């Protein structure tokens, strides 16, 4: 649905001329201005809940069909934030949703105190943006990435980072990954930046990342010399 924000400005001028007063009023109206982030929080919440519903349905169907072996037959996962109480069920937005693109061959996951080497690309919700021609294009804007074009691990430039230095939902995903994993991770705004701006990320944004785990560095073991 296209929504336009319309702003109206009214200006009243009073002038005293001799013994009388003349009131002049004029109103001008700006042209319609397109806001790509209209109703942003509600739209982002709806998007994440739709993703969560898809994940829960796929997981439930797999459990019903395969029992304890359901994970071998389902590419969806839901992980509650590791910074939220395990004793409290909490809302669905206390969890991230994961769509597994490729399973890695690693056998261990990083701890909160570890560092990792990672390829990634992050997007926000698809919306319409005005272009130079005055028309609008709809796409998901990329706000950060370590590769350009189609992902190719041979040409990507992975980044090394501390797990503890990432936002809550991102860090939770990392602590479930193993070397070689390639995931799409959906993070609700309360496990990302919430009401804060972060460069190209508007407030209340649900984030989606493609994460490819390249390497895990145990805390205290030191990083390679090329770092």
Predicted confidence (pLDDT) per residue in 38-61, tens digit: 999 999 999 999 999 999 999 999
- Answer for the pair 31, 11: CB distance below 8 angstroms, yes or no: no
Residue 29 lies in a domain: no
Extended strands (E) in the chain: 4-5, 8-17, 20-29, 33-34, 76-80, 95-102, 115-123, 127-130, 136-139, 142-145, 159-162, 182-187, 207-217
Rounded to two decimals, the pTM is: 0.83
Residue 223 lies in a domain: no
Dihedral sign of CA atoms 79, 85, 88, 90 in order: negative
Residue 129 lies in a domain: yes
Strand partners, 96: 79
Q: Using the 8-state DSSP alphabet, how is residue 61 labeled?
A: H
**Predicted pLDDT at 154:** 92
Residue 174 lies in a domain: yes
Residue 168 lies in a domain: yes
**Predicted pLDDT at 219:** 86
Question: Hey, is 211 helix, strand or coil?
Answer: strand
Q: Total domain count for the chain?
A: 1
pLDDT tens digit sequence for 70-115: 999 999 999 999 999 888 889 999 999 999 999 999 999 999 999 9
The pLDDT of residue 137 is above 50: yes
The residue range of the domain holding 163 is 40-217
CATH number at residue 196: 3.10.50.40
Residue 115 lies in a domain: yes
**Predicted pLDDT at 76:** 98
- Answer for the pair 70, 78: CB distance below 8 angstroms, yes or no: no
CA proximity to 138, closest of 148, 149, 124, 151: 124
Lowest mean per-residue pLDDT among 18-27, 38-47, 113-122, 144-153 = 18-27
Residue 121 lies in a domain: yes
Q: pLDDT confidence of 199, banded at 50, 70, 90? A: confident
Residue 34 lies in a domain: no
Q: What is the number of other CB atoms lying within 10 angstroms of the CB of residue 120?
A: 21
């Amino acid at each position: 649905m296209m929504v336009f924000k319309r702003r109206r400005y009214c200006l009243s001028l009073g002038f005293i001329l001799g013994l009388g007063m003349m009131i002049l009023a004029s109103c001008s109206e700006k042209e319609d201005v397109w806001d790509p982030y209209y109703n942003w929080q509600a739209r982002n919440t709806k998007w994440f809940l739709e993703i969560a519903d898809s994940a829960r349905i796929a997981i439930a169907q797999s459990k019903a069909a395969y029992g304890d072996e359901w994970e071998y037959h389902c590419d969806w996962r839901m992980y509650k934030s590791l910074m939220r109480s395990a004793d409290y069920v909490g809302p669905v937005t206390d969890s991230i949703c994961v769509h597994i693109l490729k399973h890695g061959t690693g056998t261990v996951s990083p701890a909160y105190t570890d560092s990792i080497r990672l390829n990634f690309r992050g997007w926000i919700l698809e919306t319409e943006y005005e272009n130079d021609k005055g028309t609008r294009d709809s796409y998901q804007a990329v706000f950060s990435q370590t590769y350009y074009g189609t992902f190719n691990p041979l040409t990507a430039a992975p980044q090394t980072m501390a797990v503890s230095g990432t936002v809550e939902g991102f860090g939770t995903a990392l602590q479930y990954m193993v070397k070689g994993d390639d995931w799409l991770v959906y993070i609700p705004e309360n496990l990302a930046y919430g009401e804060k701006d972060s460069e190209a990320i508007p407030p209340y944004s649900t984030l989606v990342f493609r994460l490819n785990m390249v390497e895990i560095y145990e805390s205290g073991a030191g990083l390679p010399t090329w770092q």
